[in-house]
Chain A
Amino acid sequence: MRRLFIVGLLAALGTLPGSTLRQLSLDDMIRQSTMIVRGTVQPANSVYHGSVIFNHYTVQVTEIYKTTGQAAASQIDFGVPGGSLNGAIQRVAGAPVLSTGQDYVLFLWTSKTGLTQLIGLSQGLFSVISATGTAPIVVRAAAMERTLNATGQPVSDNDIRMPLSALKTEIASVLSGQSTE
């Protein structure tokens, strides 16, 4: 009984106290994002929002998996905190650096103020890897460098690495209220 209680409580808590980031499950991200799209990114500009510099990127959208409210445009602007502007350099630990022209799946979230960002800093950023003759897969962007040059196997239980088709199915399932997670 005690053991079952522990399992239940730990599961409910997910991760526990101490720092900035909280791990979102894939289902959480699907539910809490305001938009999920696939596309390639181009750096745009750097802008102050309040006192924080955001590096903005433009997504050239190739697929739309989720929208809320208005229909998604073919180009979407979003910001990542941190950057350089007017001689000031601001750093934010955990803010991702996106690669120009890389194919991504992006879980985006628009705040009350109208600022669109990735969910959970880099949690909402997945790289799409397409190889000739194989179906595209999605991998957490941050894990690419040290995952793909190893043995080809995920190095972390926390990694998300799945066929793009499976991710699309999962998104559709969650949005229709039939999550499998």
Chain B
Amino acid sequence: MKRSWIARWVVLVFACLVLTTNGWGYYFYVLYNTGSGPFNQPIVEKFNLNSLVSNTVPFFISDAGPAVLAPGDSFQAIIGEIRGAAAVWDSVSTSQLRLGFGGLFTAGAASETSPGIDIEFSDDIPPGLVAYTVHEVTGNLSYGSEGLIVPIVRSRIYLPNDLTQVSTYGDFPSYSEPFFVTMVHEFGHSLGLQHTLTSSVMSTIYTSAASKATPLGADDIAGVSVLYPADKYLGTVGSLSGHVMHGSTGLGLASVVALSITSPAISTLTNPDGSYRMDGVPPGQYLVYAHPLPPALYGESSPDNIIYPTDVNGNPLGLNYNAFATQFFTGNYGGTRDANQGYSTPVFAGELTSGVDFHVDSRPFQAVYAVRTYGFSTTNVPLTSPPLTRGMATPSPVAAAGGGLLEANNANNVITPGLNISVLGTAATASNLRAYPPPTPYIAVDVQVNVTAGEGPKHLLFATPDDIYVLPAAFSVVVSGPPSITSVTPSLDANGNRIVLIAGSNFVANPITATSVATTILFDGLPGVIQGTTKSGQLIVTPPPGQNGYSATVEALNSDGQSSLFLQPTPPTFSYGGGLSATPTAGALASLSVTPKLLVAGSPTTVDIVGANAFFIAGQTLVGFGTSDVVVNQVTVLSSNHLSVQVTPTVTVATSGINVTTGLEVISQAMGNQVTTANPKQ
């Protein structure tokens, strides 16, 4: 890459500009307060933090649950997995937006005035659709903490009511990779994020590389962090800006991507006049390239299913190009299709690197687009963006599907003439390009990972004689195989507390302490606490609380993106109780006694809750009233069966709709008892 005098083409403008409102990283739901430009003041749709308590948007799950569950699944498990998916976004420390579980709600029971997210199960989801998110605004502008916004008043996520008849999958168990990743994706929409093309969780299925173990990519983190920046966040990251031009015409909705050989990609889309600004870029050196949005793929209503920005009159501002040749920034006018000639563009914390401009050549259509890669685990579980183990003597086959890889209108699966696939950087080499036999429209290459390759996502280049396509995170380099679980044994510690002994392989050590374990153990989507290891190497894990008799699936997740589901698509289970009497002991069924019976609008109230057969735990017990119009300010655990809750209702509601959640146990008073009376895993 060129790193020389051409730096003078790059103008650095310092921190104050980073904090202006005319840019973003990622892509949001956008409107412009103009019809003709300039388009440098995009107004985005987002939750107004000023209208949230503690920057927390509550989410609620319909108490009806799905009518039909996948074999071995339970409503409690679904609740746990959905909470786990929400926790993914809640844990982004560079975003100040938090997500809080508000409990179960009864769909259609009330019209709420406070923002929130509802998750419902619907019979109205047609074949070909797994889930969707409805994003509701009023069209009124408000001043949020970062300037003018269109506030999201409600987001609703819809899942099928029958989880055994889901398109493609059939059974759609909550513990599965696709259920979890889909929920993380839909939560992203609910917060105000649109699709991108950089293999993140907010990418569409055509290029997503997300997994349950590492659902968020750098693009996702930048997106939510720029939308809801935590204090001082924007001073820790940098920005890029420039234009994508064809002649004197700025190209709107062109994708601009920053990536390095060793890190995942971050991207944004251009304004209607071709200008762009990408915020939230961690300091470093980046290859920056511009590429067109792919054509609307089968099943999409627009390219990448983007909801176009609108002008002041509500008119959509779509693409003003058909396609153009992908181009890497070189620091001068011409640009290049050769990634090795791309300029290593610096990004500094708190600074704007401007003048990263592209002057592209038009094309009638894209040569290659929307590629997804696949591999297989040793137990033949298909994996997208597959992990490839460093140090393997023989190369690993990586399959790919996508537009332009095979000759159009040729049923014999002939590779597009001139197509060449290579790895960006020196981490690996690709060879033996070949097509699978028809009718399956796949190609494959063999990828040999070098012994010195660093861990993490690696990018593939698909070159044709007159264009290039970049697939960020096409595969990842790992140093060991996925974790596996060979046994799950209930036990008690010396104090009579419930623990689980988990035997298996490829659990990873904490890189900082070296002696502790960094593998995460999930019980129906909620993490257990790893207390240590036995002499024989079993993990000693405290599971999340659950009532006796309940059975939870157990999975191991490693920080390299691999999970035990890669080897064991049907995970083992842990049965609470299991003949052992733990302390505290929870009954199989619990109920609540709540006073007062009514919460009056505008009156801060202390609610007293006594739970029969309950076990409340400080810091782990959550209380909700099934509506975002009752804000729970504080939960105090007075004893294992006694709570005191400070609430502020904005409407008058009965406390009969209360939910108390402790770990995997949800006691829903509205339903008269716990959310499930029978557990199909037993």
A93 touches B194 (CB 8 A): yes
B297 at the interface (CB under 8 A from A): yes
Interface size class of B (residues with CB under 8 A): 35 or more
**Those of B294-332 within 8 Å (CB) of chain A:** 294-303, 305-307, 319, 322-323
A10-B382, A52-B156 as given contacts; A157 in contact with B195, CB under 8 Å: no
Taking CB atoms, residues of chain B closer than 8 Å to A13 are: 168, 382
Among the 9-residue stretches A35-43, A62-70, A127-135, A142-150, the one with 4 or more Cβ atoms under 8 Å from chain B is A142-150
A91-B135, A91-B307, A150-B322 as given contacts; A51 in contact with B107, CB under 8 Å: yes
**How far apart are B524's CB and chain A's nearest CB, in angstroms?**
19
| 0/1 string, A148-165, CB within 8 A of B gives 1 | 011101111111100000
B437 touches A7 (CB 8 A): yes
A176 at the interface (CB under 8 A from B): no
CA distance A103 to B137 in the complex (A): 32
CA distance A27 to B389 in the complex (A): 39
A175 at the interface (CB under 8 A from B): no
CA distance A51 to B406 in the complex (A): 44
| 0/1 string, B160-193, CB within 8 A of A gives 1 | 0000001111000000011001100110010000
A20 touches B409 (CB 8 A): no
CA distance A22 to B167 in the complex (A): 6
**How far apart are B197's CB and chain A's nearest CB, in angstroms?**
12
Taking CB atoms, residues of chain A closer than 8 Å to B125 are: 111
Taking CB atoms, residues of chain A closer than 8 Å to B177 are: 17
B365 touches A151 (CB 8 A): yes
Closest partner residue, chain A, to B150 (CB atom): A89
CA distance A18 to B185 in the complex (A): 8
A112 touches B205 (CB 8 A): no
**How far apart are B418's CB and chain A's nearest CB, in angstroms?**
17
B408 at the interface (CB under 8 A from A): yes
CA distance A122 to B404 in the complex (A): 22
A106 at the interface (CB under 8 A from B): no
CA distance A107 to B29 in the complex (A): 29
CA distance A113 to B125 in the complex (A): 11
Instruction: Offer 27 A-B interface pairs, CB within 8 angstroms, sorted by A.
Output: A6-B376, A7-B436, A7-B442, A9-B376, A10-B401, A16-B178, A17-B205, A18-B182, A20-B182, A20-B186, A21-B130, A21-B305, A50-B122, A90-B136, A92-B133, A93-B133, A94-B300, A111-B126, A112-B123, A122-B301, A140-B296, A142-B300, A146-B322, A147-B295, A153-B409, A155-B364, A157-B408
* A-B pairs with lowest CB-CB distance, top 3: A120-B128, A17-B178, A18-B208
A residues with a Cβ closer than 8 A to B are 3, 5-7, 9-11, 13-24, 28-29, 32-33, 49-52, 81-82, 84, 87-97, 109, 111-113, 115, 117-124, 140-143, 145-147, 149-151, 153-160
A17-B177, A151-B364 given. 11 additional CB < 8 A pairs? Answer: A10-B440, A19-B203, A20-B131, A23-B298, A51-B108, A88-B138, A91-B137, A97-B301, A121-B129, A142-B302, A154-B408
